[in-house]
């Protein structure tokens, strides 16, 4: 355990690599009460959701290929289905449906091994594991809401 202890615990870690923003369109809802079929962790992680959680269509296809019951999923309306559907930050009517956005930035996480170089007794360069590389990653999630009232945090740009 001593090897895992941080040398300077008061320092704020900085990511060595900043990965590109990943934009995800959450176009399917999952019935929360049936979510345990997907993972036993959903109830604890998404407990504030109460009724519905969001997912992507490609994830749903994967789960259905694994034999998960398709009745727990509902495809949400898309911009192509409703041509006047706006992003919630641009929508002025709080009772109108819109596309809500939620941004998540993970400032620091261990993402891969770090290798260092040294020379052996013969002078040949060798590499060895010398730590863990850290990364930063940002996500943007878009999903349909039946009324802007359900997406008030998206008013800030």
Closest CA to 102 of 37, 66, 51, 156: 156
Rg, C-alpha atoms of the chain: 22
| pLDDT higher than threshold 90 for residue 82 | no
Contact 114, 108 (CB under 8 A): no
pLDDT grade for 157, boundaries at 50, 70 and 90:
very low
| pLDDT higher than threshold 60 for residue 9 | yes
How far apart, in whole angstroms, are the C-alpha atoms of residue 98 and residue 100? Answer: 6
List C-alpha distances in Å: 21 to 44, 99, 105, 136. Answer: 27, 19, 9, 10
pLDDT grade for 12, boundaries at 50, 70 and 90:
confident
- Give the tens place of pLDDT for each residue, 97-140: 999 999 999 998 999 888 888 888 888 898 888 888 899 999 99
> C-alpha angle with apex 155: 83 to 49, nearest 5 degrees?
85
- Give the tens place of pLDDT for each residue, 43-68: 888 888 777 889 999 999 999 999 98
| pLDDT higher than threshold 70 for residue 80 | no
């Amino acid at each position: 355990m001593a090897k895992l202890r941080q040398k300077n615990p008061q320092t704020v870690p900085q990511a060595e690599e900043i990965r590109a923003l990943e934009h995800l369109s959450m176009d399917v809802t999952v019935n929360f009460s049936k979510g345990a079929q997907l993972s036993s962790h959903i109830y604890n992680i998404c407990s504030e959701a109460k009724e519905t959680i969001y997912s992507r269509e490609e994830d749903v296809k994967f789960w259905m290929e694994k034999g998960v019951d398709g009745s727990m999923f509902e495809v949400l309306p898309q911009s192509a289905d409703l041509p006047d559907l706006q992003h919630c930050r641009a929508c002025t009517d709080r009772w109108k449906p819109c596309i809500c956005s939620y941004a998540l930035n993970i400032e620091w996480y261990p993402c891969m091994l770090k290798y260092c170089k040294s020379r052996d007794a013969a002078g040949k360069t060798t590499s060895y594991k010398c730590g863990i590389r850290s990364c930063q990653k940002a996500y943007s999630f878009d999903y349909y809401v039946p009324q802007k009232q359900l997406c008030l945090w998206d008013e800030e740009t």
